[in-house]
Amino acid sequence: MTQDTKTSVLYNADCPVCNFEISHYAQYADKNGLPIRFDDLNSDARQRWNIDADTAARRLYVLHEGELASGIDGFLILWAQMPKYRWLGKIVGLPVFKQIAAFLYDYIAAPLIYRWHLRRQRKAAA
């Protein structure tokens, strides 16, 4: 990864789903020298974000050139930075597809993954 990072991603590396997907993007970015930094919300890196751990665990956050985005908007920014995924961002970014994707992420995927995260935390504490 280059030192001139214009895009940063905050994700939950303790979440198997999140870690699988974001690790794939991180490997791709590293292999291609893309200026993207990936921060695990469970590390000290979260302090740079000024987002508490619970809020950060609820969805993906992307900071690009000083602008913070989350959810599908965050994915669209992330995909736009990666040549291999630009096509996906263009399709998902189309008005009807974006509305559907945002609904699915905001009301189904993110809440399910977050509840799974809370359950894993309770089991780990027990």
Give the residue extent of every domain in the chain.
7-125
> Residue 3 has what pLDDT?
45
Residue pointed to by tokens 């970015």: 29
pLDDT confidence bin for 1, thresholds 50/70/90? very low
Of 28, 37, 44, the residue nearest 7 (C-alpha) = 37
Answer yes or no: is pLDDT of 2 > 70.
no
**CA distances for 35 relative to 39, 67, 97, 106, angstroms:** 13, 16, 28, 27
Mean pLDDT of the region 12-38:
96
* Share above pLDDT 90 across residues of the chain, in percent, rounded to a whole number: 94
Question: DSSP letters along the chain, please?
Answer: --S---EEEEE-TTSHHHHHHHHHHHHHHHHTT--EEEEETTSGGGGGGT--HHHHHTS-EEEETTEEEEHHHHHHHHHHTSGGGHHHHHHHTSHHHHHHHHHHIIIIIHHHHHHHHHHHHHHHH-
Strands 61-64 and 7-11, sheet pairing: antiparallel
Predicted local distance difference test score (pLDDT) of residue 4: 60
Asked if residue 32 has pLDDT above 90, the reply is yes
Question: What does pTM read for this prediction?
Answer: 0.92
Q: Which of 4-8, 44-48, 64-68, 82-86 has the weakest average pLDDT?
A: 4-8
Whether 111 shows a pLDDT value over 90: the answer reads yes
Place of tokens 């027990």: 126
- What average pLDDT does this structure show over 23-39? 97
In which band, very low, low, confident or very high, does the pLDDT at 5 lie, cut at 50, 70 and 90?
A: confident
